[in-house]
């Protein structure tokens, strides 16, 4: 075997050994997918909107930070993640993170009641999150980078009043079944 062939074989072996390896952020994102509920709404045969729902925990935020650091990067300062953590830690409320996509971006606004959006159960607060928050996009593994993000805040009683999160506009509706938390008893 010539030196040139040997080097080529070695390069191919190294490439193949690295090809299937995932990065820590990829692993973290994959682990969060089981907590994500998403649906697409259609108006007859036409696309209406896509929505995803996620209920983050403090452990999820810590896992994101650890994966980011393991990825050999400093965890970026994220005002959104800091605010989200503060909201999650409050005992008198529940927090849901919702991503919403429509072809007409400006109409995908859960805060604007004049556009005909409704949410059930009704949150006491709807806050839109900034588009440019990279840690948030990793935390909620959405498959649409053009979605708009919203934090929905609920009282615990309102949140627990229904197993569904219903989001609708005048043309379509989706029922998102909230994931149930499995309790492990020793």
The answer to whether residue 18 sits within a structural domain is: no
The answer to whether residue 6 sits within a structural domain is: no
The answer to whether residue 7 sits within a structural domain is: no
User: 174 or 45, which is more confident?
Assistant: 174
The answer to whether residue 8 sits within a structural domain is: no
**Residues 11-58: tens digit of each pLDDT:** 444 343 344 445 877 787 777 778 888 888 888 778 888 898 888 888
Tell me, what's the pLDDT at 185?
Answer: 41
The number of domains in the chain is 1
Instruction: List C-alpha distances in Å: 82 to 85, 137, 142, 145.
Output: 5, 14, 20, 21
The answer to whether residue 12 sits within a structural domain is: no
Instruction: Judge if the upstream peptide bond of residue 121 is cis by omega within 30 degrees of 0.
Output: yes
d(CA 1, CA 24) in angstroms, rounded, equals 38
The answer to whether residue 9 sits within a structural domain is: no
Domain that holds residue 81: 23-177
Residue 145: strand, helix, or coil: coil
């Amino acid at each position: 075997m010539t030196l040139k062939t040997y080097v080529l074989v070695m390069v191919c072996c190294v490439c193949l050994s690295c090809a299937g390896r995932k990065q820590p952020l990829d692993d973290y994102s994959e682990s969060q997918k089981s907590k994500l509920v998403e649906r697409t709404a259609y108006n007859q045969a036409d696309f209406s909107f896509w929505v995803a729902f996620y209920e983050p925990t403090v452990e999820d935020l810590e896992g994101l930070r650890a994966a980011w650091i393991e990825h050999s990067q400093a965890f970026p300062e994220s005002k959104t993640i800091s605010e989200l953590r503060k909201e999650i830690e409050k005992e008198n409320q529940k927090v849901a993170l919702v991503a919403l996509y429509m072809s007409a971006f400006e109409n995908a606004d859960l805060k604007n009641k004049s556009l005909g959006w409704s949410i059930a159960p009704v949150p006491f607060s709807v806050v839109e999150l900034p588009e440019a928050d990279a840690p948030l996009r990793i935390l909620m593994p959405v498959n649409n980078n053009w979605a708009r993000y919203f934090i929905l805040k609920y009282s615990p009683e309102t949140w627990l009043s229904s197993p569904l999160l219903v989001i609708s506009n005048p043309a379509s509706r989706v029922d998102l079944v909230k994931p149930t938390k499995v309790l492990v008893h020793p």
